[in-house]
Amino acid sequence: MIDTGSTGFMLVCAMLVLLMTPGLAFFYGGLSRRKNVVNTMVMVFAALGIAGVAWVVCGWSFAYGGDGTLPFFGGFDQIGCLSVARDMVAEAEGAPTAAAVLLSQGALAGDPALGAAYPAVTDIVFQMAFAMITCAIITGAVAGRMKFGAVCAFVAAWVVVVYAPLAHMVWGGAGSLIGEMIGALDFAGGDVVHISSGLTGLILCVMLGRRKGFAVLSYRPHNVPFVALGAALLWFGWFGFNAGSAFAADGVAGLALLNTVAASAAGVLSWMITERVTVGKCTLVGAATGLVAGLVAITPAAGFVEPWAALVMGLVVSPIVYVAVSQAKRRIGYDDALDAFGCHCVGGIVGGVLTGLFCVPELSWTDAGGLLYTGDWSLLGAQALGIVVTVVFVVAADVVLGLIVRACFGGSLRVSAADEAAGLDVAVHGESAYPAYLGLD
């Protein structure tokens, strides 16, 4: 029977997650150079559009279609979401629907009665919002130098070939490779969203090569207030991202919300302390980045851990991400323009591993508790193995897709040297974020 409270809750959560992608556009736009801010932001909006269309056409079906028994893939039975209208009528009459299997994922797996708490069509848009923000995160790594058409083509293929199958492997229910067979836990997207997008950003930025002047010029954020605004919108939207992944308006959703606030708050303070110790100053960009790092770390654990553990996770992740974006990137030499890999992939791995330590057994989807509670290494091992499988799958698929897209764009993913020097806003899009500005960038 449809519960109007849970239905309303899931609709609000879906809208909150949808807000995150425009929020990311402001966050990335503020971090970029003045001459590339339009290009940086329009890549995010393009990812939003591409992922939204692809999700309705086939992404939803590939991720959560079928009977839920295949380890790598959903099915073709919900191509185009053609059964949605009929399912709504059937749900209203209390009959089983073709989409009901989708709601057996995650926290609902142990309680099929929750599957009828809200219409399955609501989950389509909720999961679509996840696909949008995941694709948008990737664009931060390639800002300022990747052909816009190549970005669009890669995202269109990636959301179908990589994101949807990975979502199935983690959240696809019985028979899914990572979630069921391996037994790894991912409450709201540590593997599916953050590790996959950050790692994809790394692969693309390596294939593209470094920006002109990398390690010589100082690439400072051109608009710090934009960064703060974007972080605030991400923070607000993340409450729906994590709390909504409880799939019911209940205590688990409340716990996920509390843990999200706690971890992000701890992430801010930890980053500011780290900056104060290392460079002697606390910056607004650093505080915003610490906020996001804390959010990333708690995502896989939001409904599984106690609030004190969420604080620990936020405190731990910021120094690790700080080292990744301020030192490791320079020493290794990869040019991740806006630190998609350092923040999302590294932060997601930290969160996934710490879930294996701090997961409360009674809250676990698999009944396997964290090492701290049980003394049993099985969940920690499952978390590590799930991360390894995610990394292997994403890297292999990204390299193949990257090579195909590169071949389709004349053997190069990169804009011309002249366009890169002039800035992609005017050269590629014919508009400037600051047309009255007469200074140099």
- At 19 the pLDDT is 98
Among the residue ranges 257-266, 349-358, 417-426, the one predicted with the least confidence is: 417-426
Q: Give the pLDDT confidence of 62-118 residue by residue, as tens digits.
A: 999 887 778 888 889 889 988 776 666 666 666 554 444 444 444 343 344 445 578
What gap in Å lies between CA 286 and CA 271, rounded to an integer? 7
Distances from the Cα of 252 to the Cαs of 14, 245, 366, in angstroms? 17, 9, 15
- Mean pLDDT over 47-59 rounds to 97
* CATH dotted code for 18-429: 1.10.3430.10
Q: How far apart are the first and last CA of the chain?
A: 59
The 8-class DSSP code of residue 299 comes to G
**pLDDT at res. 370:** 96
- Name the residue among 252, 236, 256 with its Cα closest to residue 302: 256
Widest Cα–Cα separation across the chain: 66
Amino acid at 315: L
Q: Looking at residue 16, what is its pLDDT? A: 98
What pLDDT shows up at residue 94?
60
Domain ranges for the chain: 18-429
Is residue 213 very low, low, confident or very high in pLDDT (cuts 50, 70, 90)? confident
Give the separation between CA 164 and CA 179, rounded to whole angstroms: 14
Nearby residues of 387 by Cβ (< 8 Å), 6 or more positions away: 184, 191, 195, 349, 352, 353
pLDDT at 402 over 70: yes
Kindly state the average pLDDT of the residues 317-326: 96
Average pLDDT, the chain: 91
**What pLDDT was estimated at residue 116?**
54
Could you tell me the pLDDT band of residue 436, with boundaries at 50, 70 and 90?
confident
pTM comes to 0.93
Percent of the chain with pLDDT over 70: 90
pLDDT tens digits along 267-321:
999 999 999 999 999 999 999 999 999 999 999 999 999 999 999 999 999 999 9
* Of 82-91, 179-188, 349-358, 403-412, minimum mean pLDDT range: 82-91
Residues 288 and 233: beta-carbon distance below 8 Å: no
CA distance 379 to 365: 11
In this predicted structure, what is the pLDDT of residue 144? 92
Q: Residue 100: what pLDDT?
A: 47
Q: Is 10 helix (H, G, I), strand (E, B) or coil?
A: helix
Please compute Rg for the chain using Cα positions: 21
Task: Please state, in angstroms and as integers, the Cα–Cα distance from residue 41 to each residue in 28, 36, 78, 230, following that order.
Answer: 7, 9, 32, 11
